[in-house]
Amino acid sequence: MQSASHFGVLSDPFCNQGTAFTEQQRYSLGLEGLLPSGIDTLDRQIERVLGHLDAKPSDIERYVYLQDLAERNQTLFFATLMSDPARFVPIVYDPTIADACLSYGQIFRRPQGMYLNKTMKGRFAEVLKHWPNKDVRFICVTSGGRILGLGDIGVNGAPIPIGKLQLYTACAGVPPEVLLPIHLDIGTTNAALRADPLYLGLRETPPEPDEVDAIVDSFMEAANEVFPGVCVHFEDWKGTDAIRLLDRYQDKYLVYNDDIQGTASVTIAGLITALQIKKQSLADQRVLFAGAGSAGIGIANMIVEAMMQQGVSETDARAKIHMFDVDGLLTQQRNDLSPSQQVYAKDLQDTKCLEEAVTQVKPTILIGVSTVGGLFTEGAVKAMAAHCERPIIFPLSNPTNHAEASAEQLYRWTDGKALVAAGVQFPDVTLDGQTFHPGQANNFYIFPAVGLAVYATQPKRINDAMFIAAAQGSADQVSQADRDHGMLFPRQNAILETEITTAARVAEFIFDQGEATVERPRDIRAWIESMVYTPKYGQ
């Protein structure tokens, strides 16, 4: 335990044990008289926390309570989350975190992580040195430019990196003290927020892309100066910024973008399982994306790489992928496409109707990353089912009201034949006496495991192939019994065990690639397990 005394130890979330301090600890730390006489075990404290949570009227109130707990007692916070991850992940992250972001100015209590802004360019190293822990191994940084389906919400997106890093620990056991969430405030295009008296960010519009690059260049240099070897996890940047910044840094620093690579990886994990159920290969599929932003492009690019691993040429793999955005199919006739979109433009008839696009493309896989709720209409889904016996349909947009279709609709419109995964967890669906368990293609199956593998192996760089290895590691853990019910991802109630298994697969791949900077252990699984954080009090 770190040295502290009197009220100091009770206000330090990494040291505080609350009512679990022993009599000897209370005496030696000068806490006598500052706590009730009773001494609790950690399990008893969790019981009390669960009682408090049960009394809360809504998940946003539970979120606020848990964040307050995290600011008081990290051990108890993570012990609570890890006691029932299937229950608590949706509260500390998606979907509840969307409400937390929307009401951030109202629910803000104490700072968590760091808050940098564009005026600090050139002084980022000086400011980063204010963080008390010098052994930071991961930074999750957002600009708030594209949060979930909420758009540009500036500093109101600060809960996102906080929640992401909490899942590093809760789902994969990465030690919380090596994690640093950061909001990098470059302004916001959201005029309503700029006028909101409770808004906590800069009341300016973002600069042009060249200046954004200069700001982030300064930040990246500073982060690697202050925390050598740190892995920077980019999260929820505006789509064009996200793609450009990943391309800019991935060969220079240890970086990844979860919206691009994590989303792609968890999607491929679901596709692997779905195709195993169908007894087909990825290389034989036709894919249609509804949405051609950073997430769609990232998934498409990783599918191309996965097909190439199966012996398909890059040209042929790209030919199997089609895209549809707000202006319709990406065709060769359009002149409004970015370079990353142009490679997927096809010689097809222009249409702004998704059903017509489905009829033209005849996809076997339909993936929604549009943030347009209800985009997958009954007509479009039935048009797909007319040429594909078991369509694979992933409405990945979140929160729930942005999902392209509900699981119940997709099962009903395909007579239960669709293989479904969504970005949110839909309830089970019973149809004609059969119960289906729709999967949740949530990135938390991937990025915490990749984080644990990176923490252990300290690689020089991170590449898409590592995320494909993570996808395979996740897919291999779906039991046959669960596949029989249409499940495409492992159950969430044993998420720590699942993530450790995936992390071991990724670590093995990193060693095989020669990217690790530490010596390869004889037993990678046991070595990974030895590093996993366990929430318990020190003596």
Active site residues: 93, 164
Helix (H) or strand (E) holding 368: strand 365-368
Q: Are strands 439-440 and 419-422 parallel, antiparallel or unpaired?
A: parallel
> In angstroms, rounded to a whole number, what is the distance separating the alpha carbons of residues 425 and 343?
33
Cα angle: 125, vertex 131, 134; to 5 degrees: 85
Q: Cβ neighbours of residue 114 under 8 Å, at least 6 residues apart?
A: 127, 128, 130, 131, 180, 181, 182, 183
Phi, psi of 121 (to 5 degrees): -50, 130
Q: For the chain, what's the residue count?
A: 539
Sort residue 151 into left (φ over 0), alpha (ψ -120 to 50) or beta: left
> In angstroms, rounded to a whole number, what is the distance separating the alpha carbons of residues 323 and 377?
17
Strand order in the sheet with 114-117: 114-117, 179-185, 138-142, 231-234, 255-257
DSSP state of 484: H
436 bridge partner residues = 429
Pull the structure tokens for residue 323.
Answer: 């895209």
Pull the structure tokens for residue 370.
Answer: 């549009």
DSSP string, 79-112: HHHHH-HHHHHHHHSTTHHHHHHHTHHHH--S--
> In angstroms, rounded to a whole number, what is the distance separating the alpha carbons of residues 114 and 133?
12
Helix (H) or strand (E) holding 410: helix 407-413
